[in-house]
Structure 1
Amino acid sequence: MKLKYSIFAFLLPVLLFSGCKREEDPIFDQNASSKMTEAIAHAYEVLQGNSEGWVMKFYPSDNQEFGGYTIFTKFTSNAEVVVASDAVEAPEISTYAVVHDSGPVLTFNGYNKAIHWFSEPGMDNGGVFTDPNEGIGADDTGMKGDFEFIVLAATPDSVVLKGKKSGTEVVMFPLGANEFEQQASLYREAAIRFSQFGVFKLEDASGEMLDLPYSSPIRIFRNPKDASGKQMSFRVVPDGLDFYEEQEMEGVTFKILKFVEPTSAYPYGYYTNDNTTFKIVPDVTPLNLWFVSKEWYMAYSKVGPTGRAYWDNARMTLESNGLQLNEFSIGSIAGLSGVTSYLLNNYTIGGLITHNLVPVPGTTDQVRISLAGSIYTYTGMTFGVAYWNAGLNQFTTPFNNRTFVITTLDALDRPKSILLTDTQIATNTFELTLDAITDPFNN
């Protein structure tokens, strides 16, 4: 009995304390709910309070591995927002809300490319400064960006946000009169100018030109003289480059590099520090490297006289075997470099034939093509040597063991259309495009 009483005496204060707590909960909940309601209302008031809008430096990943961007927002009502970015062509209108979550949360709940591009999976985010078929980041996570942000503080001078997923802190600053339109346009123009180039050189303090590691379109450089491979993450701004943190190169520290307009010595301009100790010089991507790294589509109407004779033979042989060609491409396809791809009979038959696509040493515009001969089958389709012998081999003949000069048909750098011209047979030409072509015999 004494033991039972001892236990009861120990439990009684706990039960009494719990009972008291339950009586106070409604008041506590009411106070918390009231404070949250006030915080949400205050966030709405501040966001809309500056009718000219807000600007933020946005590094989507928490370790800045994809570089930075500039985003402009203008909250026109409790539901509508205009968002612009240096990564999209024009401002877009969508919906937003400030909701009760882990604190007041600003959510861009209506799709808007200017902000949602950074959170799209890599398999879906191609097309902004890239080939539409080339995404940025992993297929599932993309650039790891946010479109929902915890509002940490909101005043007319700044709105401090924290990415709900990434934990990255972002600060929005108020814009002045007409700055939303003007600044968004200037940042977009600077980004377009920068994105024209996929190759950059470092002209060091001695004047020597070195390859500057850069992987377009990710806004990160790596100092070729730094063995650690440290990333130098930056944003593109109207007058140059603004780095995430202070950097050191060629014995000087800097955070901003200014852009110097083109001259005869530097036809594409360059980026440099205040004392012009070094220069980061843009250059065009070598056409032969650009060619071997992409998937290029072909059509009968874009083939020269020499090649057409082989295409005619291919068509007759394919038809006699009950086959119809849906797509034909060459380049880097399905993760393999140096292949031709064939899709037939309404995409039920398809595979890859390996080729050697080798840039000619010492040139920027010549490539040597030869048959390698390995065969791969697309998942869910049929393919094999039988189809190669049923007419597909005719397509390779005018390419095999030939050297071609590559010329661009549109953009100066990273073109979408190119022409291959045989160095020995002038009529052996192929006009190729990055845009998919279906039914190539009738295009």
Structure 2
Amino acid sequence: MKKINIFLLILLTFTIQSCLKDDEDKFPVSAAERMEQRLIENETTLLSASNGWLMKYYPQEDLKYGGYTFFVKFKDENKVDVMSERGGSEKIVESFYSLTGDNGPVLRFDTHNDLFHYFAEPKNPDGIGPADSGMQGDYEFMILEATPEKIVMKGKKTGNIIIMVPVDENVSWSEKMGTIIGTGDHFLDYIAFICSYNGNESDVSISYRTLTFSALEEGGSSQFASFIVTEDGIELHDPIKIGSVDVSSFKWITEANHFLNEETGAILTPTAPPLSVQVLSSSWYFAYSGTEGLMKQVWDVVKGAGLDPNGITLGAMYLGAVSGDYALAYIAKKPNESFAMGAFFINTEVVDGNTLMIAPTGYIGGTANEYYSKYFFKLFFQAIGGTYKLTSDDPLKPTWIRFENTEEPTIAFTLYKEFIEMPYDN
């Protein structure tokens, strides 16, 4: 019996040694060393695209703002060049990036880049999203797959999948981005479409870069689609169902002025919603030259009594959504300070297609608490109330909308689709 026990002990010892040897064969280096090796390999891949990468970026976990195209080029010394649709086809901003280990390789855009971090800043510069979280985008990404042909990442905050593909050597960033922006102009200047398919039609509304399709066929249901603009149309983040076909893209047809899905023949045609709806669906900007009668007098008084004596600069003023609520909003600054936003929140009511009622509320935000009385901005707020008849230069695609008070026609002003900087100078 004693001999048997000794034999079993010797056998067990050899078995343990064998297992340890197997483990050593499987894991010749430590976990930290393996992570370091992956980081080196990932950085080599990032640097391998000599003309950079095209990134399809989706902020916000519910995709409510849609997707945006970036060009990014990773360089030596942890530098990265960034171009975005928002910055236009000429602007490139350099900043720094890093690769770190955190349950896998993580790519971080470390230092502030006004093109990239626009989507991730707690307070969005244009007032998009909640006041404390902006567009809720990522700047840290877990790398799931990295090859010279494609990099797949996952936003650490949103969980959104972000894909990068290399930009061909002979492609100009400026030209390619310009084409994408131009295609986006065809789509994003409209706020409503009609989807036609197989003799049926559905209404399609647009918000940021998302589409909501009403039921296309009897008994059907509405569908939501988040999209990104491409050079020749739009690409949906997730397919929608048209007939029995999964549809993931629409192509812009210039001659026909519509978008076409080539697989099904479904067409998206721009339509003209009422002007009152168009006002409430976007931001519309003031210019001093667009004020008339009593409204012009209000602007003169605010400038003479509030702005000029205190060195206040009005950077912009507009009607539009601020943190999800409609407001008369502005950006302004004091001497030696940065521009900051203020908002006077308002209620609205669509009286009819071309008539809109505006009623100031008691709610204000941002710097409006100070500017309201101290710098006479309350006059802007008080003057905006009333019922207005709306007219425009083009009901389908207006560049301006004129407001005329139905009870006091001397109160009138024109708002512009294009951003107006320094409204007193325009």
TM-score of the superposition, structure 2-length normalised?
Answer: 0.67
Q: How much does 1:219 deviate?
A: 2.6
Q: How much does 1:261 deviate?
A: 0.8
Q: Separation in 1 of the partners of 2:151 and 2:371?
A: 58
Q: In 2 relative to 1, CA 95–423 (structure 1 residues): closer, same or farther, beyond 3 Å?
A: same
Q: Separation in 2 of the partners of 1:171 and 1:230?
A: 24
Q: How much does 1:295 deviate?
A: 7.6
CA contact (8 A) 1:311 1:395 kept: no
Name 1:407's counterpart in structure 2: 392
Q: 2:171 aligns with which of 179, 187, 190?
A: 179
Q: In 2 relative to 1, CA 93–333 (structure 1 residues): closer, same or farther, beyond 3 Å?
A: closer
Name 2:65's counterpart in structure 1: 66
CA contact (8 A) 2:153 2:163 kept: yes
Name 1:222's counterpart in structure 2: 213
The residue type paired with residue 179 of structure 1 is V
Say yes or no: does 1:430 pair with 2:413.
yes
Q: In 2 relative to 1, CA 179–150 (structure 1 residues): closer, same or farther, beyond 3 Å?
A: same
Say yes or no: does 1:196 pair with 2:189.
yes
The residue type paired with residue 277 of structure 1 is G
CA contact (8 A) 1:304 1:427 kept: yes
Question: How do residues 254-403 of structure 1 correspond to structure 2 at under 5 angstroms?
Answer: 254-263=247-256, 269-274=257-262, 277-283=265-271, 286-291=274-279, 303-305=291-293, 358-361=350-353, 366-367=354-355, 369=357
Name 2:403's counterpart in structure 1: 420
Name 1:108's counterpart in structure 2: 109
The residue type paired with residue 211 of structure 1 is D
Q: In 2 relative to 1, CA 423–340 (structure 1 residues): closer, same or farther, beyond 3 Å?
A: same
Q: How much does 1:245 deviate?
A: 3.1
SS of the equivalent of 1:220 reads: strand
Q: Separation in 2 of the partners of 1:429 and 1:194?
A: 30
The residue type paired with residue 245 of structure 1 is D
Q: How much does 1:260 deviate?
A: 0.8
Richer in strand (by share): 2
The residue type paired with residue 108 of structure 2 is T
Q: In 2 relative to 1, CA 29–139 (structure 1 residues): closer, same or farther, beyond 3 Å?
A: farther
After superposition, give the CA deviation of every residue in 1:83-128 in whole Å (9 maximum; x if it has no partner).
223343133222112223333221111222443233233x41x5xx
Q: Separation in 2 of the partners of 1:106 and 1:311?
A: 49
Q: In 2 relative to 1, CA 295–281 (structure 1 residues): closer, same or farther, beyond 3 Å?
A: closer
Q: How much does 1:65 deviate?
A: 3.6
Name 2:160's counterpart in structure 1: 168
Aligned residues: 376
Identical columns (%): 25
CA contact (8 A) 2:141 2:155 kept: yes
Q: How much does 1:376 deviate?
A: 5.7
CA contact (8 A) 1:340 1:355 kept: no
CA contact (8 A) 1:297 1:437 kept: no
Q: Separation in 1 of the partners of 2:49 and 2:191?
A: 38
Question: How do residues 92-131 of structure 1 correspond to structure 2 at under 5 angstroms?
Answer: 92-121=93-122, 123-124=123-124, 126=125
Q: Separation in 2 of the partners of 1:274 and 1:219?
A: 20
The residue type paired with residue 274 of structure 1 is E
Q: Separation in 1 of the partners of 2:381 and 2:59?
A: 48
Q: Separation in 2 of the partners of 1:406 and 1:354?
A: 21
Q: How much does 1:51 deviate?
A: 0.8
Considering only aligned residues, what root-mean-square deviation do their CA atoms show, in Å?
A: 5.0
Say yes or no: does 1:75 pair with 2:63.
no
CA contact (8 A) 2:360 2:381 kept: no
Q: Separation in 2 of the partners of 1:278 and 1:45?
A: 43
Q: Separation in 1 of the partners of 2:34 and 2:158?
A: 26
28-37 or 328-337: which moved more?
A: 328-337
Q: Separation in 2 of the partners of 1:330 and 1:249?
A: 38
Q: How much does 1:218 deviate?
A: 2.9
After superposition, give the CA deviation of every residue in 1:418-439 in whole Å (9 maximum; x if it has no partner).
433467998664345675889x
CA contact (8 A) 1:419 1:432 kept: yes
Q: How much does 1:414 deviate?
A: 6.1
SS of the equivalent of 1:64 reads: coil
Q: Separation in 2 of the partners of 1:33 and 1:351?
A: 51
Name 2:36's counterpart in structure 1: 37
Q: In 2 relative to 1, CA 260–40 (structure 1 residues): closer, same or farther, beyond 3 Å?
A: same
CA contact (8 A) 1:270 1:280 kept: yes
Q: How much does 1:212 deviate?
A: 0.9
The residue type paired with residue 257 of structure 1 is F
Gaps of at least 5 residues in structure 2 are 1-15, 307-311, 335-341, 373-377
Q: Separation in 2 of the partners of 1:60 and 1:79?
A: 24
The residue type paired with residue 151 of structure 1 is I
After superposition, give the CA deviation of every residue in 1:312-350 in whole Å (9 maximum; x if it has no partner).
9x99xx99xxxxx999989668789898899xxx9xxx9
TM-score of the superposition, structure 1-length normalised?
Answer: 0.65
Q: Which has the larger radius of gyration?
A: 1
Q: In 2 relative to 1, CA 299–227 (structure 1 residues): closer, same or farther, beyond 3 Å?
A: same
Q: Separation in 2 of the partners of 1:194 and 1:393?
A: 33
The residue type paired with residue 268 of structure 2 is I
CA contact (8 A) 1:213 1:224 kept: no
SS of the equivalent of 2:225 reads: strand
